[in-house]
Structure 1
Amino acid sequence: MKRSTFLTAAVASLSLAALTPAIAVAAPASATETVVSCGNSGLQSALSTRLCAEITGNTVTFVGKVSLAGPPSPGSPAPTPKQLTTTFTATVDGAPLPNVTKFALFNNTNLDVPGLSANVACGSTIRATFGVTSYPWAARPVSHEVTVIC
């Protein structure tokens, strides 16, 4: 009985300690808040990919995220690094933005590829795609659409 009481008290005190920093680090009300949203993930070049949008005020930045599609089989060697070619495309209310192509090396750890960034009018809708190619696989782009609300 004493052991369970001690464990309950220990868990309760750790729970309270975990809450304290969240209250102490609250951002000031005047700071511009960044909102992040992500689209669905998809498989490209045998990797899991996803496109996210970071919106701060009327600035939208798209970031492509690349990770392993699943864990390697037990006992198998680690996958070799892959040279990736990434392509970002976007339209703002139907008008195209210039495409962005970047090269990246995937070393079997999560990789964020910064892509398109644009200042747009409040109420604009941006639709972007993120394609990844690595020999011999072709791109199967993932997409994400956001509306900027100021």
Structure 2
Amino acid sequence: MLGVLTAGATFVPIDPEYPLERIEYIVQDCGIRHMLCHPTDRQMASALQNRVTISLHDISSAIDHGLASDFATTMFPSIAPSNLAYIMYTSGSTGRPKGVMIEHHSLATLVQQAAECTDIRPGGRHLQMLALTFDSALGDI
């Protein structure tokens, strides 16, 4: 997730435990073209046709072989503060889940404010306690 953000791209957290219908809806609704997943989640990702599924293991291997910059440039060619940072989907209590879109500059402001308010410095530690599919988790991250 941090690598996707660093590349200036957008992440959409999807819990592999979600029902496949919800996962398919989210993928279709926000137009996911690439999916990063843990190797054990490939079955879920492979059920989503016409998407490029990239294992986190494959990315780790690319980094080990010095191919990370080529990989990032190919996947995420343009970076701007107005690019979407993430799309977080609601619980869907009104029928269909809705995607809430947050841009990089907004997330950067949140991170800066959180660091100032909590006095977290390089080398400091903070316990991440919330699920990645919950918007408030970004404050922990």
TM-score, length basis structure 1:
0.21
Q: Which has the higher helix share?
A: 2
